[in-house]
Structure 1
């Protein structure tokens, strides 16, 4: 059984900050935990804009606080995000994630699981590690 608190994932190697300051991810479960997925609490900062293309991963995201939007770059559709909204990037969807007027707190699941030190590359993706 794994028991881990958000406090244990803050201020150490489990807390990863975007180089551009747009987000901070606290990674509660990682590849080495052996669950087959990773589980994160991510804060998307208000007013930020992050182009993302998880070409190597699938992700599901559930908003628990704050507000913002996600733009599907294939269709141009923009969806509002607020507490209680889930989105799933089931087709490796290219998108832009925008922080709203207050920081968003998101709960994220990735498969395959992240190693833990990933940040977005030039395409907005996380590299796949063997």
Structure 2
């Protein structure tokens, strides 16, 4: 059994930060679960282009607000606590933080190795 706390992981290399988001990666590829699990904060007022060509992702909003816009059809979905969005088609999208920071729980398949950041196309490269 693996037991970790959010605070413990914040003080390790599993805590990744960018100008737009802060991701605490609680479960990663090396844990052997077949997915990774993160608690991510999307900063208020930010916009991030994302296109997970190599991963599927499920995102559940815990607190705060924001929106996701699918670029294939330009649909905009409001994200508030209790909302889940599932990127089951490698959906290229814009993720926007709202009036306050948005905290989400994310699961990735295949799992992330831990140090990934979005490249110029919004992609996470596949872990070796």
Residue 45 (structure 2) aligns with:
47
Q: TM-score, normalised by structure 1?
A: 0.97
Task: Measure how far apart 1:11 and its partner are.
Answer: 2.9
The whole-number CA distance in structure 1 between the counterparts of 2:108 and 2:127 is 13
The alignment of Structure 1 onto Structure 2 pairs a total of residues equal to 128
Question: 1:127 maps to what in 2?
Answer: 125
Runs (4+) off by over 3 Å: none
Mapped to 2, the partners of 1:93 and 1:82 lie a distance apart of: 20
The CA distance in 2 between the partners of 1:71 and 1:86, in whole Å, is 14
Q: Taking structure 2 as the reference length, what is the TM-score of the superposition?
A: 0.98
* Gaps in structure 1 of 5+ consecutive residues: none
Map of 2:90 onto structure 1: 92
Corresponding residue of 2:4: 4
1:76-126 deviations in Å (ceiling 9; x for gaps): 100000000000000000000000000000000000000000000011010
Specify the SS of the correspondent of 1:9: helix
